[in-house]
Structure 1
Amino acid sequence: MRADKHRNKKRRRWKSILLVLLLLIGAGAAYSYFQYKQGVNQSLKKIDNETKEQKVVYKFNGQKDQYGDTNVLMLGSDSRGEEKARSDTIMIAHYNEDKGTFKLTSIMRDSYVAIPGHGKHKINSAFAIGGPELMRQTIKQNFDIDLQYYAIVDFQGFVQLIDEAFPHGVEIDVEKKMSAYVDPPLQPGLQKLNGQQMLSYVRFRHDAIGDFGRVERQQKAVKAIGDQLSAIQTLPKLPKLIGVVTPYVNTNMKTSDILFMGKDFFADKRGSVETLRIPVDNSFEETRVKGEGAILDINLAKNKEALHQFITK
């Protein structure tokens, strides 16, 4: 009899614990959703109605790659609504859930490659011709890597994300004066940059090294943002940060997928994101092609090998 009473009491105690856990999980989910919606509404107030209606729904036949990685095609754009716009920024974010690794490959926009069904062009033409799906096909054909998701990021979303995550700015060493075709201009030195200043930093390319310098700065900025986000209490802010950038991003990723990958990155402080630039050193020639202007004539075999080694190491 006493044993029965003890068992019943134990069952009631576990039921109470389970109920408390369920309530805590429910409250956490509700809070996360509230924070997410708050971030979305905050950005929507800054976007005009015409821009809100311009998001294009793209077809994208993506899948995980042969190594089990989730690859996200990230395209930087000034206008989410112009289907014919070329993409100035082409990156692939590589995520391996089993290893818990995050890597980033930048493909230079002037890389001269075969675009399926359209002959040879600069790689950023693929987006202008056929959106992210044709860019996916182009990368698959030339580098033999599958991409599961795409994300077209309006540059103003980048600005809003920086200002929300870093009220006092992102610390970065500006290596030189940057003033041509960027606003605001930047002075050299270690400093904290707000969203608009960071945008100037990652877009500047009017110097002796041109687009090579810009790609290097973009990767440097991503590393700095990742490192400094890891140094603060990011997880509680993550739903709102995703909400803030959502209106500025055209993507086939679900919010739950973004949250899952974001939490995995910040939960264990993975360290610096490894980066690669395509084309790699000593694998291309700078030349000109009629109708295209300056191009990078790249050694495909060498760059494909470098990309696959980078992903699998």
Structure 2
Amino acid sequence: METRRQRRKKKVRKGRVFIVLLLLLIVSAGAFAGTQYWLGTQMAADAEGLDYNFEDDFSGVASDNGKVNVLLIGVDSRGEEQSRSDTMMIAQWDGQDDEIKLVSLMRDIYVEIPGYQDYKLNTAFYLNGPELLRQTIKTNFGVDVQHYMLIDFSAFENMVDALAPNGIEIDVEKAMSEKIGVSLQPGQQTLNGKELLGYARFRADQEGDFGRVNRQQQVIEAVKDHALSISGVMNAPKLLGAAQPYIQTNMTNSEQIAILSRILLSGGGDIKRLTIPLDDAYSNGSYEGVGSVLELDWPANNAALQEFLE
């Protein structure tokens, strides 16, 4: 019959075995993540990457309600020192309610640009980078953002291929090929990085930029859903490695990891989407030297935006 001392020794041995196994698991996971990250950096080894030097520091402030607002700026630099922002979105993360909100701002909105003449919204970035774009959004829409993240579209396909080597499923609503570098057929499709980027950028139909913005939002949601799958989580370190040269932000590495970790651990939350201008709250206009613009019904659009982000 076992004595109390013998039972205690067995418990101690079992405890030690558990600790050793746990440490081995942690070390193995760290080694795997490190290897995946290195593989991602190799995918982008020849990338020139983003290297903008902006005159003004980004002066966004944290919101009073504890929600994190990030200005997502998509550019197609093609080696140019200056480029207009092709995509502008406000992404809001609410950690308490596990909720993500995404606001797309159409690039042709006619706005007041502080210190410059009135022009299209996407011109603000061209004139003086993220800080002027932040000021322009705050001046016209009454919304401030805490962080910005500049993403080069030329890297998008590498990032998707790192996250989802077998592609990401998208319901393609129509045949698409004009000016996107790929040919897509209607129906449920599994798209690689190049094809997914083409889908997100297509606008050669009656919907024009409005359809393009809607597809961009769909793509972000599809990528987010895949990132939260088991295979997506496994490939996340590789994605981070592949994306590094193509992302420029005022967020520290610890801030990026903290937000990403919170989203992953919470299950990612649903994405609520809004596009500005609203469907029936704008008109088409044109100005000499500016071209075609969107003239907003400012009270209607700003009321909807404030209510959406509150």
**TM-score tier (shorter):** 0.7 to 0.9
Q: What is aligned with 1:181?
A: 179
Gaps of 5+ in 2: 1-10
Q: What is aligned with 1:157?
A: 155
- Deviation, 1:21, is 6.7
Q: 1:133 is aligned with what amino acid? A: E
Q: Is the counterpart of residue 72 in structure 1 residue 73 in structure 2?
A: no
Kept in 2, the 8 Å contact 1:238–1:262? The answer is no
Structure 1's 66 and 140: CA in aligned 2 closer, same or farther, altered over 3 A? farther
Structure 1's 127 and 186: CA in aligned 2 closer, same or farther, altered over 3 A? same
RMSD: 2.9
Match of 2:191 among 185, 190, 193: 193
Whole-angstrom CA distance in 1 between matches of 2:270 and 2:143: 23
Q: What is aligned with 1:229?
A: 227
- Deviation, 1:271, is 4.2
Q: Is the counterpart of residue 60 in structure 1 residue 50 in structure 2?
A: no
Kept in 2, the 8 Å contact 1:238–1:259? The answer is no
Q: 1:55 is aligned with what amino acid? A: D
Q: What is aligned with 1:39?
A: 40
Structure 1's 42 and 17: CA in aligned 2 closer, same or farther, altered over 3 A? same
Q: What is aligned with 2:270?
A: 272
Q: Is the counterpart of residue 251 in structure 1 residue 285 in structure 2?
A: no
Match of 1:121 among 101, 114, 119: 119
- Deviation, 1:156, is 2.3
CA deviation string 1:115-173 (max 9, x = no partner): 11112111000000011110011111112222121111111221011111222211111
Q: Is the counterpart of residue 239 in structure 1 residue 237 in structure 2?
A: yes
Structure 1's 236 and 188: CA in aligned 2 closer, same or farther, altered over 3 A? closer
Q: 1:72 is aligned with what amino acid? A: V
Q: What is aligned with 2:216?
A: 218
Match of 2:86 among 82, 85, 88: 88
Kept in 1, the 8 Å contact 2:168–2:191? The answer is yes
SS at match of 1:38: helix
Kept in 2, the 8 Å contact 1:68–1:96? The answer is yes
Structure 1's 165 and 265: CA in aligned 2 closer, same or farther, altered over 3 A? same
SS at match of 2:184: coil
Kept in 2, the 8 Å contact 1:102–1:274? The answer is yes
More deviation, 73-82/114-123: 73-82
SS at match of 2:299: helix
Q: Percent identity at matched positions?
A: 41
Kept in 1, the 8 Å contact 2:163–2:236? The answer is no
- Using the size of structure 1 for normalisation, the TM-score is 0.86
Structure 1's 33 and 280: CA in aligned 2 closer, same or farther, altered over 3 A? same
SS at match of 1:167: coil
Structure 1's 193 and 20: CA in aligned 2 closer, same or farther, altered over 3 A? closer
SS at match of 1:214: helix
Structure 1's 123 and 259: CA in aligned 2 closer, same or farther, altered over 3 A? same
Whole-angstrom CA distance in 2 between matches of 1:37 and 1:20: 25
> How many equivalent residue pairs?
306
Q: 1:38 is aligned with what amino acid? A: L
SS at match of 2:237: helix
Structure 1's 16 and 153: CA in aligned 2 closer, same or farther, altered over 3 A? same
Whole-angstrom CA distance in 2 between matches of 1:56 and 1:16: 52
Q: What is aligned with 2:290?
A: 292
SS at match of 1:306: helix
Whole-angstrom CA distance in 2 between matches of 1:220 and 1:12: 53
- Deviation, 1:255, is 2.8
SS at match of 2:52: coil
Kept in 1, the 8 Å contact 2:103–2:273? The answer is yes
- Using the size of structure 2 for normalisation, the TM-score is 0.86
Gaps of 5+ in 1: 1-9
- Deviation, 1:36, is 2.7
- Deviation, 1:284, is 0.8
Structure 1's 290 and 193: CA in aligned 2 closer, same or farther, altered over 3 A? same
More deviation, 122-131/78-87: 78-87
- Deviation, 1:264, is 2.2
Structure 1's 235 and 311: CA in aligned 2 closer, same or farther, altered over 3 A? same
